Structure 1
């Protein structure tokens, strides 16, 4: 259910902050949701001269983004439209991921589309619908993005799609006041986290457990478990093995991948460690990911593993800050001397129709100008190196941007989103459910997932 994976990401973006600041330098922009911008005389067009001028041309930007996010996306084009003369028609629909196939096959493809998974991008390119990006777009990506981010938009050594927005996964949510009251500190390594968990488990309250966990997500139930495993594969086996794993070169039953499952097992399958406020290990599957961390507020658990989007799940009035009601730390490193290793998600802008106006819009979306304008509106982050973290609208957003921009940070895209659908959004998800309820043991789980690889 790829739309749910994108749905996770959309919520995570909306969670990082709220809209509030106007675009820097936008003195006269405005218009309706169709995107009409202000008069060029009201705008400083210096930043937009590089894109050229056009006489009333229109470019459709197709996306699954909706609601407030869609309005904010439209707003980022006001000055661009006023200065270039290009009308950017941002079309947002939940069905974009499926309808793009119908539209492309019928010869009605949009000029550009925001694509939320590399897997979908690859398929659309293989089908002959997505075409290579211009040299100017590639130059922007070379300047403002890391090699790994460029790689996700490169197919068969051809650069086709520019990164846009990003999310950081692997956060462990906790209550600073709870940690202080219990006399414990944020762990620096994975072993420290296991030791902390054992210490917290000494609390023999009937409903308390160190961790609260929820895998429930309708037809997509199980994906939170895959995030746990992906974090541990990256930390225990390293980025090269992670890359080989998501392409099938390294099997799930490989000892390096099995080690990651065994580390996750130490927490998720231990009835003394989970599932605070909900019941035993078996309650993980019936607990929704939305509710998963809420027992922290009731004192029934101390930690919850979930991506940055979870900021939106806390009840209204909950202060998310280092000295607030709730805060988060990254899943710790295995090697304390290594740089940060994070998993996450992202979106990519691909071109379906070749035109100078489409090139200009795609180039703008890959620039630091657009990244700073969009993040300043709230609700999103980006891995664009030209982005000023101060523009993020929350403490967590600023922390996530600094991690993404870190020189030593190793970033890898969500593994299940990169794997073939038969595995990543099917057997991997369902297998995690069977594992935590005890239907299969670790060996049976790994053999089962391997058997489903196309």
Structure 2
């Protein structure tokens, strides 16, 4: 999902944003001045006892965030002033360039954070990084690292490696969720099809962003077929977009996606069904006309109200499985909001950053729903339902977490040729032709 589409997706029920930023230079918070790139940076004078935060989420998410800070504020005596801005990515750059950066920014995509790295205080200068490394799901800090320095840490996680199904109907039909490998998943899909129901619910239509759902499928398969090291090389273009390992991964995805017997409506159905409506045929009452849906934890926001009111009773989930003969581990694809400090050498900012990025933050938000902790050690009993706990557990047990690859690619690819290329591919173009075309579109510098 490119340019933080998981956050854009959430816009249907909360705040949304795209992240694409350029750097600016700010005055140091001390009297001696100083530049970025490891030095002190700030937004100028700061009111004692107050820490300002800029982020993208509003509405119910804002209320849950502020509630999660209330006890900390009372105990610490620090007044945290949160400002929402759905155009966060533009606003944060403008404020940085104007010398009016917030004390802390909550970035929904690592690319935008790293674009401003010269103006952000290195994380080592703000918190004890080793303390959170021991509790974080592996992979988050790597996404916020540039030239050996870490600039942000997660305070929220999204998980995408999930397969959803309508629980009562699926269990009554006797289908299995115990699929150890992708090959098992294909076999179970074929079993469902043989019984007369198309197994997969699918929708890629998303206006100008049509195709992003397909990019998620390829990213899932690259992680499983080739592994996280190759995934990282692919995302950063250390290997070409059309490397043979990526061709193999896309062909593997095609075993489901390009089989019209396994996907409702075939290619036409995929491209003409809005991503938010993909699971509706499985949950609208009566006998499902499809059963399985691969989508992130935010998918529940699009389900019928009666389903949302009883997630545990109406839907089930299982982990998108490993690929036999591929990576020998359990990877998770997802996203997250990363906290970064613009104010250096300020104990109050450091206290807030330490709390936000710890496994102690978020219990109230977890109880309200719609939030996942990036820490494997977070108290899962605070989540609102068993469905969310199961998703959180699958991420906590992961061997490695990787951010959505298209979010990390150049915009021309990640939210451009990659999207349109997947549309061409599902429409009949071969994997090799599709990946060759995307590779040719990669910016030369």
By the TM > 0.5 criterion, same fold? yes
Cα shift at 1:13: 9.6
The secondary structure found in structure 1 opposite 2:80 is: strand
In structure 2, runs of 5+ residues without a counterpart are 16-45
Q: In the alignment, does 2:191 pair up with 1:190?
A: no
- CA–CA separation in structure 2 for the residues paired with 1:78 and 1:423: 41
Q: In the alignment, does 2:348 pair up with 1:348?
A: no
Moved more, 59-68 or 350-359: 350-359
Kept in 2, the 8 Å contact 1:174–1:303? The answer is yes
- CA–CA separation in structure 2 for the residues paired with 1:87 and 1:295: 47
1:27 is matched with: none
Q: In the alignment, does 2:43 pair up with 1:7?
A: no
Question: CA 1:380–1:323 in 2, change beyond 3 Å: closer, same or farther?
Answer: closer
Matches within 5 A, 1:32-47: none
1:451 is matched with: 440
Kept in 2, the 8 Å contact 1:239–1:412? The answer is yes
1:62 is matched with: 54
1:211 is matched with: 200
In structure 1, runs of 5+ residues without a counterpart are 15-53
Task: Summarize deviations over 1:49-100 as a string: whole Å, max 9, x none.
Answer: xxxxx99522110000111000111122222222322211100011111111
Moved more, 336-345 or 164-173: 336-345
Task: Summarize deviations over 1:96-130 as a string: whole Å, max 9, x none.
Answer: 111111111111111110001111111111xx222
Residue of structure 2 aligned with 1:386, choices 373, 377, 387: 377
Task: Summarize deviations over 1:199-258 as a string: whole Å, max 9, x none.
Answer: 222245xxx422121011222111111111111111111111111111111223211111
Cα shift at 1:289: 0.7
Kept in 2, the 8 Å contact 1:131–1:351? The answer is yes
Kept in 2, the 8 Å contact 1:172–1:328? The answer is yes
Kept in 1, the 8 Å contact 2:183–2:324? The answer is no
Kept in 2, the 8 Å contact 1:319–1:326? The answer is no
Kept in 2, the 8 Å contact 1:113–1:351? The answer is yes
The secondary structure found in structure 2 opposite 1:327 is: strand
2:388 is matched with: 397
Which 4+ runs in 1 deviate beyond 6 A? 10-14, 319-323
Cα shift at 1:364: 1.5
- CA–CA separation in structure 2 for the residues paired with 1:370 and 1:348: 13
- CA–CA separation in structure 1 for the residues paired with 2:301 and 2:308: 11
1:286 is matched with: 272
Q: In the alignment, does 2:415 pair up with 1:425?
A: yes
Cα shift at 1:294: 1.1
- CA–CA separation in structure 2 for the residues paired with 1:259 and 1:3: 26
- CA–CA separation in structure 2 for the residues paired with 1:99 and 1:86: 25
Q: In the alignment, does 2:233 pair up with 1:233?
A: no
The secondary structure found in structure 2 opposite 1:230 is: helix
Question: CA 1:380–1:11 in 2, change beyond 3 Å: closer, same or farther?
Answer: farther
Residue of structure 2 aligned with 1:132, choices 111, 122, 133: 122
**Structure 1 vs Structure 2 CA RMSD:** 2.5
Task: Summarize deviations over 1:247-294 as a string: whole Å, max 9, x none.
Answer: 11122321111111001111111222222xxx3322211211110111
Cα shift at 1:372: 3.5
Question: CA 1:81–1:104 in 2, change beyond 3 Å: closer, same or farther?
Answer: same
Residue of structure 1 aligned with 2:307, choices 318, 325, 343: 318
Kept in 1, the 8 Å contact 2:122–2:149? The answer is yes
- CA–CA separation in structure 2 for the residues paired with 1:216 and 1:384: 33
Q: In the alignment, does 2:259 pair up with 1:301?
A: no
The TM-score normalised by the length of structure 1 is: 0.83
Number of residue pairs matched by the alignment: 405
Cα shift at 1:428: 0.8
The secondary structure found in structure 1 opposite 2:105 is: strand
Residue of structure 1 aligned with 2:96, choices 83, 104, 120: 104
Task: Summarize deviations over 1:138-188 as a string: whole Å, max 9, x none.
Answer: 244234324522222222111221211111112111123333443321222
Residue of structure 1 aligned with 2:165, choices 151, 171, 174: 174
2:115 is matched with: 123
1:41 is matched with: none
1:165 is matched with: 156
Kept in 1, the 8 Å contact 2:226–2:245? The answer is yes
2:144 is matched with: 153
- CA–CA separation in structure 1 for the residues paired with 2:170 and 2:5: 33
The secondary structure found in structure 2 opposite 1:397 is: helix
Question: CA 1:13–1:397 in 2, change beyond 3 Å: closer, same or farther?
Answer: farther
- CA–CA separation in structure 1 for the residues paired with 2:268 and 2:427: 5
Question: CA 1:290–1:146 in 2, change beyond 3 Å: closer, same or farther?
Answer: closer
Question: CA 1:293–1:267 in 2, change beyond 3 Å: closer, same or farther?
Answer: same
Cα shift at 1:441: 2.5
Question: CA 1:215–1:103 in 2, change beyond 3 Å: closer, same or farther?
Answer: same
Question: CA 1:129–1:320 in 2, change beyond 3 Å: closer, same or farther?
Answer: same
Question: CA 1:398–1:181 in 2, change beyond 3 Å: closer, same or farther?
Answer: closer
Cα shift at 1:296: 1.4
Kept in 1, the 8 Å contact 2:54–2:106? The answer is yes
The secondary structure found in structure 1 opposite 2:306 is: coil
Moved more, 280-289 or 225-234: 280-289
